[in-house]
Structure 1
């Protein structure tokens, strides 16, 4: 089995180790990023919905940057929402701030009943090949 190329964003490694999962794993030029929520550095939820979505994107973008990529490298997005009928429009008001230009990534939006105290979770797959090490 190949060794996992795990990507940890700066300053949040303890949070991932405490919860026992990898924030992202790179394999064959693809970066598989675990679902990102709008958590503050201590892991608590950002209370305002739009701020929570922005923080989820900030957390996601920190992982992409640590891997040497950006949101423009994202090919596939899955967005999980608690009570999507009530929050979808507010969430989608924030999305264009991060989504980039056409062509957009593929998207799957899923309504769920629970996200550990969060309203939104964003999971992506990006094309971010490993960088050559000097």
Structure 2
């Protein structure tokens, strides 16, 4: 049996309900974040690449914050990119002003498409919380 806490920021309730997934799951001090993308709380994909990348990082920040973490707690990250050559310079610029440089293991993967048309990046990560896990965990086997 694994004790786990489902991490669900209130702004992502519609997405979690519609997609049937958890934005993150915390087991002990480890937080496993599902891939976050650049769309609004009402599930609209943001068309402008830079604004979409900013929103993807903000959505990841919200998930981590709900688990009591920050970007500094991230130990591993994977990013999935559509049209990586075209958008990587802008993505890196947004990342460099948002996320601590060189603070975690990072794998960057080019893909042909993501879950919805127009999405250009998905960011998933694993973080280790410095806070004590909460007692209101949901147990699942």
TM-score of the alignment, normalized to the shorter chain, above 0.5: yes
Task: Determine if contact 1:7/1:25 at 8 Å carries over to the other structure.
Answer: yes
Displacement of 1:13: 1.1
The within-5 A match list for 1:51-66 is 51-66=51-66
Q: Distance in 1 between matches of 2:134 and 2:82?
A: 40
Displacement of 1:48: 0.6
Q: Distance in 1 between matches of 2:134 and 2:15?
A: 28
Q: Deviations over 1:60-110 (max 9, x none)?
A: 000111111110100011010001111111111111122125x51110000
Task: Determine if contact 1:84/1:111 at 8 Å carries over to the other structure.
Answer: yes
Dislocated runs of 4+, deviation >4 Å: none
1:47 maps to 2:47? yes
For structure 2, the 5+ residue unaligned runs are: 137-141
Aligned to 1:131: 133
Q: Distance in 1 between matches of 2:41 and 2:28?
A: 30
Aligned to 2:109: 110
- SS of equivalent residue, structure 1 residue 12: helix
Q: Distance in 2 between matches of 1:38 and 1:26?
A: 23
Aligned to 1:81: 81
Aligned to 1:67: 67
Aligned to 1:120: 121
Task: Determine if contact 1:80/1:120 at 8 Å carries over to the other structure.
Answer: yes
Normalising to structure 1: TM-score of the pair?
0.92
Normalising to structure 2: TM-score of the pair?
0.87
Aligned to 1:100: 100
Q: Distance in 2 between matches of 1:60 and 1:97?
A: 15
Task: Determine if contact 2:3/2:27 at 8 Å carries over to the other structure.
Answer: no
